Amino acid sequence: MSENRPLSHYLYLLFLSTVWGTSFLFIKMISPTVPPLTIAATRITIGAIVIATIVLLKGKKLPSHSSIWIKGSLIGIIGTGIPFVLISWAVQYINSGTAAITMSIIPLSVFIMAHFIHPDEKMSWMGLFGILFGICGIVVLFYDTLMSGTGHDLETYALIAMLISAFGYALANILIRKYVKTDPINTTFVMLTTSALLIWPLAASFEQPLTINFGVNEIISLSYLGILPTGLATMVLVIFTQKAGSTFVSYNTYFIPIFGVIAGYLFLDESLKQTTFLSILFIIIGIYIAQKQKKRQA
């Protein structure tokens, strides 16, 4: 795929990085009062309503074709439902900045899967070196978190949950490129609707969301999470992946840590350690090497 990209591709990348990077901050702020299943179900429902509104305002009909519902449901559960639940649970035990940095594992997963699935996104040795260099940053992060963590028994499991979430995002990215050829907005609606319908019964059974006292902070945070990082960002992801390819889109996760760490520092007083900067440095160098090599081959 040609790397002579228009400015809009980089603006899409910046938008996804910003809203997803700051989403961990909002989840962290409400996690003491709103349990994870309820957070995930609420933000996904708000996102589905946003997409449905966009569809209706454009004068189109909501999707009814079985193919869209089958493919969209599968992608939605893998790339939205399961990750959102795991992330909402994991941020209770790790810093929001740490959670954001773990998302950088996505390009390695996408890079390898895209090599075998998409003929125009083949892996090069130099590109692989760049991705692995970025992963060194993740290793630094994990080591520092486990060595100087809070001592909570579930901290390690929270990191594992974040890795599973990242893999889900990566696999969904690949499936979008392979199977979503038309109606990206309708597919987004299906992805969110199916995920919400799956999670709400679980939330009702285990967390009794109707008994939760939602204050102003919870309402604002859930509204933000639903409208931007869930509704609009999922729609942009589907459209952007069709235009730019799975590998390039996955690079947004290299910038998520920067926004996530800064937001955690400014609003949650999360510490900025030398190892945090070292981790981000490895990540930035990795994406530079991978992208530069692809430009040479274009």
Per domain, the residue ranges of the chain are 23-297
Highest mean pLDDT among 82-86, 112-116, 125-129: 82-86
Question: Cα separation of 246 and 41, whole Å?
Answer: 26
CB burial string 50-66: b at 16+ within 10 A, e below:
bbbebbeeeeeeebeee
Half-sphere exposure in the Cβ direction for 224 (13 Å, CA): 18
Sign of the dihedral through C-alpha 280, 268, 17, 214: positive
Give the mean model confidence (pLDDT) for residues 65-81: 93
Q: What is the pLDDT of residue 5?
A: 77
The amino acid that residue 16 corresponds to is L
More reliable by pLDDT, 275 or 46:
46
Phi, psi of 270 (to 5 degrees): -75, 140
Given a cut of 70, is residue 139 above it in pLDDT?
A: yes
Q: Which helix (H) or strand (E) holds 34?
A: none
- Scanning the structure block, which residue is given the tokens 């809070």? 150
Given a cut of 50, is residue 151 above it in pLDDT?
A: yes
* Contact yes or no for 167/107 (Cβ under 8 A): no
Confidence of residue 24 (pLDDT cuts 50, 70, 90): very high
Q: What is the pLDDT of residues 209-265, one digit of tens each?
A: 999 999 999 999 999 999 999 999 999 988 888 888 777 787 787 788 888 988 998
Given a cut of 50, is residue 2 above it in pLDDT?
A: no
Question: Cα separation of 251 and 165, whole Å?
Answer: 16
pTM of full prediction above 0.75: yes
Give the mean model confidence (pLDDT) for residues 266-295: 75
Give the mean model confidence (pLDDT) for residues 191-219: 96
